[in-house]
């Protein structure tokens, strides 16, 4: 998969989740079997703000050349996606209230982490071939 497609898909997925968590935090958390109070809603909206920021970065950088700055963005996205994958997996295994379909976002995160890892550390398509 081309890096530009991966970044566009990430922007769309994170944008959708970000908007949902920002404007409907309790509803979105309820989809996962949870309940939140005012502090939980606030924390969810903070997370949503970060998701929307990442979505904007991915959208605007999707067609950028593979400069040092772009490679830093790929590394940051790889680290973030990997950490989210770990957090979601730990929560899924330790929580009895989380619904089984909540593995879907985990699967999306695994695929994104793998994609950004490959984009950052895999073969560089712009490098001249021998």
Express each pLDDT in 42-61 by its tens digit: 999 999 999 999 999 999 99
Inside any domain, residue 130: no
Inside any domain, residue 53: yes
pLDDT at 115 over 80: yes
Inside any domain, residue 31: yes
Inside any domain, residue 14: yes
Inside any domain, residue 126: no
Give the rounded percent of residues in the chain with a pLDDT score beyond 70.
89
Looking at residue 60, what is its pLDDT?
Answer: 96
Q: Mean pLDDT across the stretch 62-81?
A: 94
Inside any domain, residue 127: no
- Place 33 in a pLDDT band, splitting at 50, 70 and 90: confident
Domain count of the chain?
1
Inside any domain, residue 110: yes
Inside any domain, residue 47: yes
Give the domain range for residue 40: 3-121
Helices (H), 32-67: 38-61
Q: Mean pLDDT across the stretch 6-29?
A: 94
């Amino acid at each position: 998969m081309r890096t530009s497609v991966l970044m566009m898909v990430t922007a769309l997925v994170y944008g959708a989740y970000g908007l949902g968590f920002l404007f409907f935090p309790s509803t979105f958390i309820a989809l996962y079997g949870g309940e939140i109070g005012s502090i939980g809603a606030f924390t969810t909206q903070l997370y949503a703000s970060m998701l929307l920021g990442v979505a904007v970065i991915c959208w605007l950088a999707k067609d950028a050349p593979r400069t040092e700055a772009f490679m830093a963005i790929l590394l940051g996205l790889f680290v973030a996606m990997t950490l989210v994958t770990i957090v979601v997996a730990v929560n899924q295994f330790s929580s009895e209230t989380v619904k089984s379909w909540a593995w879907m976002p985990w699967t999306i995160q695994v695929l994104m982490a793998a994609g950004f890892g490959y984009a950052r550390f895999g073969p560089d398509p712009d490098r001249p071939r021998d």
